A and B are shown apart, each in its own frame.
Chain A
Amino acid sequence: MAALPGASAMELAAADGDPRGRSEEPPILATPNLIEGDEFRAIRVAPEREARLESGFTGFLDGAQEVRVVSHCDGIPIVWATVSAAVRVRQNRRLLAWQRHAPAVERRYYVPFRYLENARQSFRNDPRVVDTGRPDASGAIPSRHPAALLERAMQKVQQDREALEQTLADAWCGSESSALYIDGSITASMIASASSLAVGVIKSHRTLYAEGAAFRVVVGLTAGERSSVFRVSPRTRNPVASWYVRVRSASGRDALFGLVRVEAALTNDPTARSDEISRWIIAEGSPLALPDGRWDKMSYGIRDTEEFLRAIS
């Protein structure tokens, strides 16, 4: 790398550890802020087995990121990442690319210039390069520790991916009239979080809204059941209605098997809305998303979108 004197190329094998990795938060329990009824309980929305349900989703939105440490310069990791997002729409039971908005793919370097005094100016000014050494929203600056720098790069990559996803979600809400299945939270977008067309489905449960008695309810949900609706309002994001749905039976499996958390816009009738959306999500469990390891929670539409992104990015 001529732009970074002293940089040494990485062995490819060494960078193969987790090329698609994401920055993870520590697992925590949070108290659910109920907006449906007086107690947190399980509500059946579909039969436990052989549910033959309709789905109101016509679009599926997902994003992907691929991160590689391509070089080290004086011990500082130089990260190259590809972020992408796409919407796939269902027509005649087959999934196709959304014609109104092309899939988005962006590729960038993530470099902490604070610790790279020798970096050439042209490299610093390149729009494909993101400076990860700047203070974040809280004013924190990453230390020189390579792991901390890598963690900061991962956060930036994740933000870029979420930005792409948000753009597509907002575009959908502004142009379509049917529901969009979004892989992940919708709280980052003001438009999506307030739209009746956007539904976020979260598969990972690093934050479990099940503190206290709610815990037994959540882990005890059987297939076809949902929890009571509660309000999620992250500090820097937008508030939404949320609830848990057990898509598949967890009998003989771990407690979170087949469990997803749903986010939708706040509404005056959370019961009817959450019942309807829960049934849609259960319906999206067929066909199976295998061989993806998260097949118990993932809809086939999202798997298809991930495969699509893998092909184009």
Chain B
Amino acid sequence: MSEPLGRVVATERRPNTPHEFHFWTALDSPVGIGTIVRVDGSNPVNGQIPRVYGIVVEGFSYTDLQSPMHDVLGHDGSPGNAGFSITERAEIRLYSAAVLRQIPDEPLQPVPMGEVHLAEEDDVALALRMDSYLKEGAHTGIPVGVYRAGATDSTIYLDAEFLLGPEAAHLNISGMSGLATKTSAVEWLLSSVFTHFPESKGSIAAVCFNVKGPDLLFLDQPGRLDDRDIELYDKMGVAPRPFEKVQYFAPYTAKGFSLNTLRSNEALLHNVTPLTWGLREVLQYAEVLLNRDDIDAKADALIDFIKERVVDHVFEDRKYLSREHTVQSFGDLEEWFRDLLRGLENANSEAWRTHHIATIRKVRNRLSNISTRCAGLVTDSGTVSDLPFGSFEDRMVYVVDVATLEEDAQDLIFARVVSRLREHLERRDLGVKHLIVFVDELNKYAPTDGQDTYVRKMLLDLAERGRYLGLVLFSAQQFRSQVHRRVVGNSGTSLFGRMDADELATPGYAVLSPATRTKLATLEKGQLMVRHPHFTQPIFIRFPRPAVMQGRDGVERYPQGAETSLDVAIYRSLRSLDPSITLPWVQKFVALYDEAELLRARDATTLARPANVQAYFEAQFKRIVPTEAAMAAATASREDARAVRALPIDDPYGF
């Protein structure tokens, strides 16, 4: 039993209540804001001595001085004289604590007078009601950090049932930028979830959207940890290792040669997969890219018609079209529009199948524009390289790098990926039972005000219904007050790093005491305030640095690959699949085929990841590979070879 560090006090002016009490301590006691304490009552209630657990939310210090003027007079107006006083004034440390739990729960009475003790590890578990989910055989605790006060060092667990569903779900992190809190906390928590997620609940994976800089691009590389971090990892039973299974996805740059990501160093490309979509994939989410001005009822009707009747069908209209069209890519669609408009002009007609020519021109303009606005992601050719929907792996992190993309492209990726995840989870065929989606900068995607965008609607839906599907949103932002309240309101668990004073002045933080808000404004790196459904009051914790390489270190150690020429870009892509491939071998093809053909062949090969990469790549050109003699000639004069056109193998005359 620990020595008491304080005594409960109550006066008529400041009485104790069932939810708050006051106590004083010695001047040198280790109590501070956020300290968890235990009060041992002295009189039994229903035969049981009451125990009350509380967390310090406010502190007061004062002396017997009645007026500051008295101190001035006492030292003749000279502060230096104060140090010569042979006696210190009587001083008090008085604290207010919010009740975390009372045992017994009933009858709920005002906190009794009694001794105050620093809560020990067992007390912390009881105070935070963690005992209900840390039971032998029914352990659903996920360590989130360590609570420290005095000699107490206690692991704080979140309940998986309330963090990852189905009871409650979702997690939201707020904090100032640049203090290594939000991203670090999520990286650490993902490690903890992957380690401690109960077997009985099945498999789990994470999809992380890297929305800025290199934050999440080195999750598979070891980071720098010191002894204190290692201690925390040991205490919480998590191996201090980077993630073993990580897969990166990034679109190409606008030129299409190399991947548009800061993780483009050749040494790291083995687990980076291109993210490219074609017409079909984009049209499903055209609403994301087209604003309200774009899509009036007429345009909407034409887009629907194209989706239903034109794309992926053999389409003919003898009256207006010069030929049959099979539209499978943006290139095909452009051809279809051009043919149709020419036909209408020739026929001097202003409408086609009830669609006015102006509407057709508008829709053509908007849809064609998408491949330009989302260049690198949306391909004219229709090549699709996507996340492995249906074959997600347990404890795998899938990182989608959208950091360097235009806003439209980011929205499109976000909307489509999350929608597909949802569809697969509804059908129970994603490959894993639970999926965490991490989105940073939530105030950008789900702002409080502004237009009701597709992405925001989707995030609201995810926040409100995702937990029933096993789809859990981990979100982060600098200013919680600027995020739609239905998103943050549905987050069962909230983490707070150091906060901006202006943000703390917003109404959302009014429930916190002034001292707690002050502490929030001065939190160190690695400290968080946690709100969780089982905790009746916010708790302050420490968490270790993530065991993964930080983005800034990563880009220094693995500099971004420069935008290269076409031959080098293809060489790099293929070499990650087959290290025996050489640059001259690639250059043979570059000399003979045009850029679009080469990129199509590369995309097909990287998507298929065949056993025999060289044969597969070569097979993409099978019908148009030149004779050996022509190949040799082309190789001999490579500089001129770029002008040589591909020759059909069965047409040696080159017609």
Contact = CB atoms under 8 A, between A and B. Distances in A.
Given A50-B76, A307-B64, A287 B90 contact: no
A27 B36 CA distance: 60
Interface in B46-70: 64-67, 70
A286 B86 contact: yes
A308 B66 CA distance: 17
Interface residues of A, number: 21
A301 B76 CA distance: 19
A145 to B, nearest CB: 40
B653 interface: no
A16 interface: no
A287 B64 CA distance: 11
Interface stretch (B77-85, B429-437, B604-612): B77-85
Nearest to B84: A52
Interface string A257-294: 00000000000000000000000000110111011000
Contacts, number: 57
B81 A95 contact: no
Contacts of B84: 52, 286
Nearest to B90: A304
A251 to B, nearest CB: 14
Contacts of B81: 50, 52, 286
A93 B90 CA distance: 10
B78 A291 contact: no
A307 B90 contact: yes
Interface string B499-527: 00000000000000000000000000000
B64 to A, nearest CB: 7
Interface string A149-192: 00000000000000000000000000000000000000000000
Contact of A300 (B75, B76, B78, B89): B89
B113 to A, nearest CB: 15
A79 to B, nearest CB: 28
A290 B87 contact: no
B66 A291 contact: yes
A55 B74 contact: no
Is the interface on chain B under 10, 10 to 19, 20 to 34, or 35 or more residues? 10 to 19
A74 interface: no
A90 to B, nearest CB: 6
DSSP majority for the A interface? loop
Given A290-B65, A290-B66, A290-B70, A90 B86 contact: yes
Contacts of A50: 76, 78, 81
Contacts of B76: 49-50
A290 B73 contact: yes
B612 to A, nearest CB: 84
Contacts of A49: 76
B86 A288 contact: no
Contact of A286 (B64, B65, B74): B74
B51 to A, nearest CB: 28
Contacts of A284: 86-87
Nearest to A285: B74
A235 interface: no
Contacts of A300: 87, 89
A94 interface: yes
B407 interface: no
A286 B75 contact: yes
B651 interface: no
Q: Which of A300, A301, A304 lies at the interface centre, i.e. has the most chain B CB atoms within 10 A of its CB?
A: A300
A291 B86 contact: no
Interface string A35-60: 00000000000000110101100000
Contacts of A303: 64
Contacts of A54: 86
Nearest to B88: A93
B94 to A, nearest CB: 15
A94 B63 CA distance: 12
Interface string B306-325: 00000000000000000000
B71 interface: yes
Given A50-B78, A52-B81, A283 B70 contact: no
Contacts of A52: 81, 84
Interface string A98-128: 0000000000000000000000000000000
Nearest to A57: B86
Nearest to B66: A291
Contacts of B85: 93, 286-287
Contacts of B78: 50
Contacts of B65: 290
B24 to A, nearest CB: 13
B89 A287 contact: yes
A179 to B, nearest CB: 13
Contacts of A286: 74-75, 81, 84-87
A283 B66 contact: no
B88 to A, nearest CB: 5
Contacts of A288: 70-71, 73-74
Contacts of B89: 287, 300
A31 to B, nearest CB: 35
A287 B71 CA distance: 7
Contacts of A90: 86-87
Contacts of B75: 286-287
Nearest to A300: B87
A291 B88 contact: no
Contact of B86 (A93, A290, A307): A93
A291 B76 CA distance: 17
The list of the 7 closest CB pairs from A to B, nearest first, reads A288-B74, A291-B66, A290-B70, A286-B85, A93-B88, A52-B84, A287-B74
10 contacts: A49-B76, A93-B88, A283-B86, A284-B87, A287-B87, A288-B70, A288-B74, A290-B66, A290-B67, A301-B87
Interface of A: 49-50, 52, 54-55, 90, 93-95, 283-284, 286-288, 290-291, 300-301, 303-304, 307
